[in-house]
Amino acid sequence: MTKKIVILISGNGSNMQAIVNANIKNATIAAIISNNENAPGILWAEQQGLNAISLNHKSFTSREAYDSALVKLIDQFEPDLVVLAGFMRILSQSFCQHYQDRLMNIHPSLLPAFPGLNTHQNAIDSGCKIAGCTVHFVTPELDNGPIIAQAAVSINSQDTSETLAKKVLDCEHIIYPMAIQDFVFNHLSIKGNKVINQRKHDNNHQEKILNF
Ligand code: GRF
């Protein structure tokens, strides 16, 4: 059965574009929602003829008021999965609980290392030789939910936070659609803080990701 997906963005929406362009089997993109009506990503979504909606957080007096309006908007589409793709807002506990086990995020570090902002500079400053990205289910604690997928890239001595961000973003565009496909095919189950993936792993693909 087809699963409905709502994607939340705030900015460029390159992950959203990768997800849309992946044409994930048995999934429909029910809506793209942005908290910023000028986000390049929402303009792109409109041009594609997708259901592109802006809900500006600045029109609300509190986080709770915004999140509850956002829930109402999202739930009109009866989504099976809500995907955060560069949605630059901390979500309230009640929002996270409402979408428990059907809310995904991508974070540009190898969690649990470097939650929060400035991940690339922090990885470089810490002398890390490897960086990467993590797709995880969202829990109320920031960047801390069960990990679905990760991809790694090497950090070399010439890397700046910009060059590292570009390498990591290229990986994000691969693993996010894959993780969503796994969700849609019911390959994922959550046991405590771990995600079990029943998909047969494609070793060639994993090797390619590590060679970025
Ligand atoms: C990505 O680096 C993602 O990991 C983080 O926000 C950024 C969004 O980029 N959560 P884009 O809007 O998908 O291009």
Q: Quick one: fold of 1-99?
A: Rossmann fold (3.40.50)
What are the tens digits of pLDDT across the range 155-209?
A: 999 999 999 999 999 999 999 999 999 999 999 999 999 999 998 766 666 655 6
Residue 95 banded pLDDT, cuts 50, 70, 90: very high
**Test site for ligand 1: of 7, 15, 107, 148, most ligand atoms within 8 A of the Cβ:** 15
85 CA from centroid of ligand 1 (Å): 6
Q: CA–CA separation, 157 vs 173, rounded Å?
A: 24
Average pLDDT, the chain: 95
Q: Residues with Cβ within 6 A of ligand 1? A: 9, 11-15, 41, 85-86, 106-108, 133, 169, 172
- Does 105-212 match 1-99 at the fold level? yes
What is the atom index within ligand 1 of the atom nearest the CA of 18?
13
- Between 202 and 14, the higher pLDDT residue: 14
Kindly report, residue by residue over 29-77, the tens digit of the pLDDT: 999 999 999 999 999 999 999 999 999 999 999 999 999 999 999 999 9
Buried b (16+ CB within 10 A) or exposed e, 93-116: eebbebbeebbbbbbbbbbeebee
Instruction: Answer yes or no: is pLDDT of 212 > 70.
Output: no
Instruction: Check if the beta carbon of residue 175 is closer than 8 Å to that of residue 107.
Output: no
Of all atoms in ligand 1, which is nearest to the CA of residue 133? 4
Q: What is the residue extent of each domain of the chain?
A: 1-99, 105-212
pTM above threshold 0.85: yes
Q: Is CATH 3.40.50.170 the classification given to domain 105-212?
A: yes
